[in-house]
Amino acid sequence: MQQRALVNPFAYFAEKRLVVVGLAATAIGSALGWLFNARFDGVLDLHFVQQLRVWQPLLDNGINILSLTLPLYLFGLSINGKTRLIDVVAAVLVARIPFYVLPLANIGGYMYGAANQLVTGTMEGTPVGMGTIAANIAFFAAAVSAMAVFVFWLFQGFKTATNSKKPAHKWIFGACIVLSEVISKMMLVLVSKI
């Protein structure tokens, strides 16, 4: 059961428990973002910065959660009028957990420096060390893995919440993620001007 619960936690745990775990993970992930200068500046984005304010990662995550929840809930209602908001929120909160581990890659500002070295070296045509290249490749692999788990868990949760069965729902689900990314970017830009 433990392996199955990891593959599809939405089939094994109550939505209230999933929401509590997801909120706790969001708080921990936001704290890690602050400690290691990571911005969750989009539903599918994470960038390291030189410095940030303590509230920025938490605001980023709040906007990302809202940006994902609204389109998925509205789409869920179109599939099944009995779709509950708490089930969609649980899916979003739990699915984002893999992203919250990624700030650990920037301990001591390492990934921020490695990414800047790679960009600077590429732009100026100067040689970039193998360590820098390897660090960027490793982080890219970790980020892609986190994104794959995110999409998989989000779909499992969405499917459970809506009782989705049609193949076309997968495509619309994907479009909802892209729409959520656009919404989150727009909201983050608007909030940054305040």
155 Cβ contact partners less than 8 Å away, ≥ 6 residues apart: 170, 173
**pLDDT of residue 1 exceeding 70:** no
- Chain-wide mean pLDDT for the chain? 93
**pLDDT of residue 194 exceeding 70:** no
**pLDDT of residue 145 exceeding 90:** yes
The predicted-structure confidence for 32-87, as pLDDT tens digits, reads as follows 999 999 999 999 999 999 999 999 999 999 999 999 999 999 999 999 999 999 99
Residue bearing the bigger pLDDT, 9 or 7: 9
pLDDT number for residue 9: 87
* pLDDT band, residue 135 (cuts 50/70/90): very high
Concatenate the DSSP letters of all residues of 2-69 into one string.
HHHHHH-GGGTS-HHHHHHHHHHHHHHHHHHHHHTTEE--STT--EE-S---TTHHHHHHHHHHHHHH
- Look up the domain containing 43 and give its range: 2-192
If one counts the domains in the chain, the total is 1
pLDDT number for residue 27: 98
* pLDDT band, residue 7 (cuts 50/70/90): confident
Residue bearing the bigger pLDDT, 7 or 62: 62
pLDDT number for residue 58: 96
**pLDDT of residue 3 exceeding 80:** no
